[in-house]
Structure formats: structure tokens, C-alpha cells
Amino acid sequence: MLDNMKYPRGRLLMGPGPSGVHPRVLEALSSPMVGHLDPQFLALMDNIQEMLRRLFRTENRLTVAVSGTGSSGMESAFVNVVEPGDEVLVCVNGVFGNRMSDIVERIGGVLRRIDRPWGEVFDPAEIEEALARHPDVKVVAIVHAETSTGALQPLEEIGDLCRKNGRLFLVDCVTSLGGERVEVDAWNIDMAYSGTQKCLSCPPGLAPVTFSERAMEKLKARKSKVVSWYLDLSMIEKYWTEGERAYHHTAPISMNYALHEALCLVHEEGREVRWERHRRNSAVLVAGLEALGFRLFAQEGHRLPMLNAVWIPEGVDDAKFRKAFLDEYDIEIGGGLGEVAGRIWRIGLMGETSSRENIMTFLGALETLLERDGHAGSVGAGLDAAARAAD
């Protein structure tokens, strides 16, 4: 129970999400309520679609915000194009590849799975070999930015491979969209989904998705109904299409206000500028962490700038330190999941959270906690290294 508080106090959100939210987005949330078919709201939906297309770098007609968190985007991507008996190749190198695999089996698809050690990425040759072994695969699914490991998966060659072989290409962009380059059309991506609470710096509650015309043809040619009524994009599409606007469900009005404002902020900053900000700030954080004895977890050359995964040094108690960050400094960072639980930290620099000020605040707290716990030579080393990297 919270002591005489109606709501929790604020935190510096440096975990795997949600990220910090700009005051303009919070203000948008409090805008007056209108109906979900009000002409004012429909105009706002049109703006959201256009801004999402620009961010996904696509001309896809079906580019919408699904009502639900990023996981609803994941599920909608699969349930709409996978029918019972369809073979799906899922590339697994972390928690979210495992979740993709689970969904495929739950909806009656035939799972064809390939694995890489956590923190590593896939080579296109591995996928080509898997497709040769399983010639009936209809969909290839992969995670662009694996939140559980901090690994960034190259996509362009895999997209070319899928298009050449007539397979649909499905990509998880939950952590990458808004913080790293995503090129849906240029990379031949057929279905992509994301979430609002990561690099878009919007509260959790909506899942941007985009479907190519090839994916829509697969949806329209289904022999069976989409197993989820709520996530059936053949119906949701009509609600988001100007001139049709067929009622499907009551959209979360205020969340769409928030997403609209968050997307405005993204485009005001500029995509390229925003991507570069995430990369620069990640380099500053990494310099400070390495000076304090931390080693990066993900494969070199394929590391996320918005989610920095590091091995926890010997003698540093994971749960104790994360609790101290939260209790004493109001800083949230993420622990490891699955097979790396208790062994890595995941330090987020997403969207609004990605700033030099936040990096220095975190490193100062980390140095203090390390010194108090008996780790000699900690004070000043991380901050000095970060300051040099920032110059």
C-alpha cells in the first residue's frame, strides 16, 4: 500500500521500457474526450497513419495503431497471416523470439525454429539453409531489436532473401522504431509491429503495425477466420480507412492523442537526428560503464544504442543494486530475463530518456553504490570517461 499517496512518485526510467514521457504527450492525454467516430478524432487518426508511414518508411495502406500494447502488435501480425497448418520459420536469439514461437503454435501454425546463442544475431545464410530444409515455409519471423539481449539484427539481406523466395517477412520493431533506422519498404518487410512505450516515449497502450499489400493478399485469401476477433485487421482496416469508418471497437481515444503528440515530437526532431542522438548517447554511457569494469553483452558490431545490455561484474549483487537504484535514487534499470537472469543489466536510453544528463545521473549513482559496496577505484572513473566520450 502506498503511504498517503494516490499515485507513485516519478522515476528516471532507464530500463527496457516504458521510457520517460515528454510533458507535451502528458498534456495531450488530458485533452477533452470525444467519440471514437467524431470527425475531429477521425482526422487525428489520419494524421497518425501518415506519421507512422513516414517513421516506418513505407507506403503501406494498412498502417495503423492497434489498441493494445506491443504484444498485441506481435499477436496481430501472426494471427492475421498464419492459418492452421501454415509453416512459419522463427529465428530465436532471445525472449521475444520465444514468444513468437509460442504464438505460432497456439494458433495452429507449424513451427520451424532456428536458434542463435542469446546476444548474437543471425547470418542470412542460416536462414537460407533453413528455408532449403523447409520449402513449405510461408512466413519468416525475426526480432529487429531484441530487448532481452541488446542485440540489433541486420534485416536488409534477409528481406531480399524472403522476397526472392516468395516468403512473407515478419519483423518485431518494438524497441527499434523511433530510435534506430527501420526501412519497411526498402528491406522488403511485409509485416512489422512496434509499441508506443519504448523509443516513441508514449505511455504503453497502442501497437503501431504495418502490412504490405502482399500480406493483405494473404489475409484476404484465408480459408478460415482470423482466430482473434479483436485483432482481425480485415475489420480494423475498415475503421481506419477514410470513407468507410466501420465501427469495430471503441478506440482508446486519449492514448491516440498521446501517440499523435509523440509522433509530432519525433518528426520535429527529425528521424536521422533522433537515430544519431541515440547512438551518441549510447557511446557515452558505454564509455562510462567500461571504465567501471562492465563488459557489453551483445555481439560486437550488432549492439542496440537504445538498450545497453552489460554483464554484471563478479561481486556485484544484481537484486541488491537494482533495489538501491530504485529506493535511493528513483532510477529504474532492467535485470536479465530467461537464461541470463541475474547475470546482466539492461540499461535503457530510449526516446526522452536518452540524454547526457540522465547518463551522468545514472553513472554518479552507480559509482557511489560500487564504492559503498567495497569496489575500489570506482568514484569518478565512469563519469570522467563518459565526459571525455561526450566531447
144 close to 173: Cβ distance less than 8 angstroms: yes
pLDDT at 3: 63
Apex 180 CA angle, 103 and 258, nearest 5: 75
| pLDDT level of residue 6 (50, 70, 90 thresholds) | confident
180 closest CA partner among 279, 275, 70:
275
Per-residue pLDDT tens digits for 285-320 = 999 999 999 999 999 999 999 999 999 999 999 999
CA distance 13 to 334: 10
- Round the average pLDDT of the chain to a whole number and report it: 96
Give yes or no for a contact between 170 and 191, defined as CB atoms under 8 angstroms apart. yes
- Residue corresponding to grid cell 495531450: 28
**Can you tell me the distance from the alpha carbon of 56 to that of 190, in angstroms, rounded to the nearest whole number?**
12
* Residue with the three cell numbers 559503498: 372
Q: Is the per-residue pLDDT at 192 higher than 70?
A: yes
Tell me phi and psi for residue 366, to 5 degrees: -65, -45
What's the CA gap between 232 and 144, in Å, rounded? Answer: 24
Mean pLDDT of 355-360: 98
CA–CA gap between residue 180 and residue 312 (Å, rounded): 26
The pLDDT of residue 4: 65
Closest CA to 110 of 141, 138, 88, 135: 88
Q: Please, what is the angle between helix 356-372 and helix 381-390, to 10°?
A: 160
pLDDT of residue 2: 57
> Crossing angle, helix 70-81 and helix 233-240, to 10 degrees?
120
pLDDT tens-digit map of 105-135: 999 999 999 999 999 999 999 999 999 999 9
pLDDT of residue 7: 82
Residue 364 has, within 13 A of its CA and on its CB side, a CA count of 9
One-letter amino acid for residue 342 of the chain: G
pLDDT of residue 335: 97
33 pLDDT above the threshold of 70: yes
Average pLDDT over residues 184-198: 98
Residue bearing cell 477466420: 225
Asked whether the beta carbons of 51 and 267 are under 8 A apart, the reply is yes
Q: Residue 1 pLDDT more than 60? A: no
pLDDT at 375: 84
The share of the chain scoring above pLDDT 70, in percent, equals: 98
Yes or no: say if 114 and 130 are a contact pair by the CB < 8 Å rule. yes
What average pLDDT does this structure show over 26-43? 96
pTM, whole model, 2 decimals?
0.96
CA separation, residue 91 to residues 15, 170, 309 (Å)? 25, 11, 20
Encode pLDDT of 244-294 as tens digits: 899 999 999 999 999 999 999 999 999 999 999 999 999 999 999 999 999
Given a contact cutoff of 8 angstroms between Cβ atoms, the answer to whether 199 and 175 are in contact is: yes
- Give the domains, in start order, of the chain with CATH numbers: 12-16+271-390 (3.90.1150.10), 23-267 (3.40.640.10)
CB atoms within 10 A of CB 106: 12
Q: Please check the confidence at residue 376 and state whether its pLDDT lies above 70.
A: no
What percentage of the chain reaches a pLDDT higher than 90? Answer: 94
The grid cell for 368 is 557511489
Over residues 55-81, the mean pLDDT reads 97
Q: What average pLDDT does the segment 161-167 reach?
A: 97
CA 11 to chain centre: 20
Predicted pLDDT of residue 8: 85
Q: What is the per-residue pLDDT across 317-340, written as a single tens digit (0 to 9) for each? A: 999 999 999 999 999 999 999 999
